[in-house]
Chains A and B, each alone.
Chain A
Amino acid sequence: MIAPLPRLHAVTDDRVVAAGGVAGRAAVLAAAAGPELAVHVRSRVLGGAALLDVARAVGAALAPHGSWLVVNGRADVARAAGARALQLGRGGLAVPDVRRVAPGLAVGRSVHDAAEARAAAAEGADYLVAGPLFATASHPGEPAAGPALLRDAAAAGLPVVAIGGLAPGTARAALDAGAWGVAAVRALWDAPDPVAAARAFLAVLPATPAVAVVVNGESRTVAEGTTLRGLLEQLGLDPRAVVVEHNRHIVRRDALDTARLAAGDAVELVHFVGGG
């Protein structure tokens, strides 16, 4: 995973999805948080096609802001929707199998204890979502694991996103315990002012500045310092299938990891098409 993992994850559940207008609400959050935000599309009841519709709509809303679309559970839906990452829960596919189905996706695993965290790292996951940190209505009856879980999970060597009853006030504690970022359901989707809630979280989280660049003539927001390889990853493009021009200079394939994007950069991604 080359591009930086967002630090604020807005996770949906069936209640949020059923309420409707997820894409519009995601757009509002994305406008406020840009590449700092990942929106997880998650459902236990929707079938593949319905989930794909939601994922695509959310993805389209997020794209101009550089926010990540993460699909939970369904590798096929994640790939078809052009998601940046797949989030695997208990009983989900093994990471190597996901890479067979959907190469190019970042893969996150949800973990609940140190053993699961180590297993996920050994398997090749790109990041972890660890929780529930505090008691949460999203998982009633499940004991809160507390900050110790975060320390154990962070020890596995992957970025850890804390989940479970997080609010801006408790985000600081999560970071101090070793979290890379935080995930929330109610604190974002149920907030009377979601933008204010997002901003309150971001004020506590370390910042990765976002910049506006132009890619194939279209304006996009990316995390400052994103490499060209990271940009291709974000766009789901295979470096072998495109030629990259960065500010009118051609970037060779072996330089894609070192060339970084700055504000106002223009990137052209070209390939061969039929012609006479």
Chain B
Amino acid sequence: MTRLVAKGLALRRGSRDILRDIGFSAQGGEFIAVVGPNGAGKSTLLAALAGLLQPDAGAVLLDDAPLAALKPRELARRRAWLPQNARCEWPLRVERMVALGLAPRLQGFGDVSVEDQARLDAVLADCDLAAQRDQIVTTLSGGELARAMLARALVADPELLIVDEPLAGLDPAHAWDAARRLRALATEQGRLVIASIHDINIALRRATRVLALRDGRLLADGTPATVLDAVLLQQLFGVVAEVRGTAGGGYVDFAC
């Protein structure tokens, strides 16, 4: 089973500490929500966990191998990463844009293989994009584009999926639907999913685990029901809030 370990992760930019001494261990089947205020270092943490930023201290290990020791292509075959507001810069058809996710699996000058084409069809159907497959990607709505990008990330069947704010800009129905999809990937298909999420209610109800980040430090790490309480929300965001309801059906009431 996939195992991702962060050990004493620290990252500086100029004289600013972006990440300080972050350590945790995660495995396949978990849907981890990274929460915290703007500028807490969430995106930097995700990029470091994806092996796209070199930490100044500490290391990230994927199945006991440091990410820095893996070949970029090998790493690309095993983990997928999506940035905030991922966009496509040429007006490609949706199917061809999603197929770009197969890049690490392609050999030489060949095109998509028969098995890969089957995966492509399956992932388009899974992400409700069958009707849009021939549409031009730059004409998609925000929700459709988010689904297409997720399909792009999933098409190569990664064991580790790291997504930066996948719910930003989505209306409530699409946001909850996307969160359900991410959770299903973890709990039903055994993948390790790590996503930064601003909607505390979605983190509370859908994630299997929460990492709370502030000023580059890990303030809390645990199941949403145990970690997300009034004290932590006060610490993270400086707001007065109460968590009501029961586990699994709880919600946060912002009293400000």
Q: Answer whether A and B are interacting partners.
A: no
